[in-house]
Structure 1
Amino acid sequence: MSRELELEEVVLIGRTFEEYDKMFELAELNLVEERVLDVASGVSSFGAEAREYGYDVISSDRIYQFSPAEIEKKCSKDLVEVMDKLEGIKELYKWDFFNSIDHLKKHREKAYKTFVKEFSQNKGDNYKFVEYPSSSFRDKEFSISLVSHFLFMYDEHLDYDFHKRTLEELIRITRKEIRIFPLVNLKGKKSDLVERIMEDEDFKEFSFKKQGVNYEFVKGGNEILKINLLEKE
């Protein structure tokens, strides 16, 4: 696949530290003591904002092979297209965190511009090119891994084997806990892969817990899956 086609097939929509805080119940974690991996982080500004606060966060995604200019151009185009589509399906979303499409658009624009600014300055240090399900990270390099809008969401495009191999890789490189949000797919339905993962015999030594969170944009998308890895140690 050409670089142009590879970038074209990805929709680049960024999320902020404020959203991550609510999505992943970050208040439960003492982030100052953790080394955090943002999995398939795309153009979210969580990493940039977290590092500004002094937290140790590494962002990882396959799009980091592209230049800041290429990514920013795609972000601008995608944001317009996604916002246009939302007009016809507003009823599928809860409008409390965001009070309007215009408010959402400004929030998303702020996220990707914050990302692009830091990515332009620190491409090699804080942003790692990773093509999941594999990575070059060391065993147990991170204490916490956060997976936002990646696993389960794209269950029609990424099959169970991909999900399982990605989770196995995250278990290899994560020491304490993995958190995944949301547990719904692109159609807003609970992904069947959540239960398959939780019931997979290969993961039986780990503790899985679904937990409600104080964030819901896609209706029904208000749960995270917490995977406690400490049982293995």
Structure 2
Amino acid sequence: MSQVEKSTGLDLSRIVFIGRTWEEYLLMFNLTKEELVGHEVLDCPSGACSFTANANQYNISTTATDIAYYHQVDDLEQKGFQDIEHTMQSMEHVVNNYNWDFFQSIDGLKRVRTRALTECVSDMKKFGASRYVPTTLPQLPFKDKQFDVTLSAHFLFTYADRLDYDFHIQTLKELFRVTREEIRIFPTVDMECKRYEYMDALIEWIDSQGWTGEEIQVPYEFQKNANTMLKLTIK
């Protein structure tokens, strides 16, 4: 066990280190590169996604944050390849639960997931904690209004069976604190493709916090029916 694991109590085996590509992010969040250039962006949580690596190449100042970053990058790289192999094996049994227009096949999915991992890990090795900041939600180690835009993929509503309503509230409060203009969360459904149970109440609460929340369909759907995001804009 590494010194980091001793101090944080994190078990690497319980962290799934798998990610999406830059191209997937633009589709998931219904964004273009031009909309983001010149902005400060937070990817939270970011896992093994390659968005940060690519965005910074396009003059989009982007910071990634995730609980996984408490671990050594070499350990995460090894874990990431193991997770991809395990995921691909699992996919064979649930292939009909997914829309394959984007990836075409399980082999296609594996290639894309592997590219995301390798691009992410390569960037982590170059830039370390200056871009890849360890954190444990619902707290974030950033200044008030540090980012123009925050993107959050496959976390809050995806794991609604494990993250209760209070956790959602506390996390959103923290995202509000560090974000100046806009927050986008994808998808708005859980693992079973069901819309988040408390979405209407949550949007009402968001409105009371000086933000506007709306569900928007996006041009990306891998998990069937997971094709909407929650867009939050400060009033």
TM-score (norm 1): 0.94
Alignment pair present for 1:163 and 2:173: no
Aligned counterpart in structure 1 of residue 155 of structure 2, from 139, 147, 150: 150
Identity of aligned residues (%): 38
Equivalent-residue separation in structure 2 for 1:38 and 1:112 (angstroms): 15
Distance change >3 Å, CA 103–CA 147, structure 1 → 2: same
User: Which of 93, 97, 102 is equivalent to 2:102?
Assistant: 97
Aligned to 2:149, the other structure's residue is in SS state strand
Deviations 1:163-201 (A, max 9, x none): 110000000110101000001111222121322311227
Q: 1:185 to 1:80 in 2, by over 3 A?
A: same
Note if contact 2:206-2:212 (Cα within 8 Å) is conserved in structure 1.
no
Which whole-Å CA distance do the structure 1 matches of 2:106 and 2:74 have between them?
26
| Corresponding residue for residue 38 of structure 2 | 33
Query: Where does structure 1 lack aligned partners over 5 or more consecutive residues?
Result: none
1:25: Cα distance to partner? 1.1
2:228 corresponds in structure 1 to 223
Among residues 24, 29, 32, which one is paired with 1:24 in the alignment? 29
Q: What amino acid maps onto 1:51 in structure 2?
A: N
Q: Which of 136, 144, 147 is equivalent to 2:141?
A: 136
Matched, 1:186 2:191: yes
The more displaced of 188-197 and 124-133 is 188-197
Using the alignment, how far apart are the partners of 2:75 and 2:198 within structure 1? 33
Aligned to 1:115: 120
Which residue identity lines up with residue 22 of structure 2 in the other structure? F
Instruction: Give the Cα separation in 1 of the matches to 2:140 and 2:63.
Output: 13
2:53 aligned with 1:48: yes
For 2:78 and 2:206, locate their aligned partners in 1 and report how far apart those are by CA, in whole Å. Answer: 44
Separation in 1, partners of 2:105, 2:120: 23
Q: Distance in 2 between matches of 1:65 and 1:30?
A: 31
Whether 1:62 and 2:72 are equivalent positions in the alignment is no
In structure 1, distance between residues paired with 2:61 and 2:107: 32
Kindly state the Cα deviation for residue 29 of structure 1 after the two structures are TM-superposed.
Answer: 6.3
- SS at structure 2 position matched to 1:140: coil
Task: State whether residues 185 and 191 of structure 1, in contact with CA within 8 Å, keep that contact through their aligned partners in structure 2.
Answer: yes
Distance in structure 1 (CA, Å) of the matches to 2:194 and 2:78? 31
Offset at 1:53?
1.8
Greater mean deviation of Cα atoms: 22-31 or 168-177: 22-31
Contact preservation (8 Å) 1:152, 1:193: no
Whether 2:2 is the aligned partner of 1:8: answer no
Moved more, 23-32 or 114-123: 23-32
Show the counterpart of 1:80.
85
Paired positions, count: 230
Could you tell me the TM-score, scaled by structure 2's length? 0.93
1:30-87 per-position Cα deviation (integer Å, ceiling 9, x unaligned): 2113100000101100100111222111111111111111101111111111111111
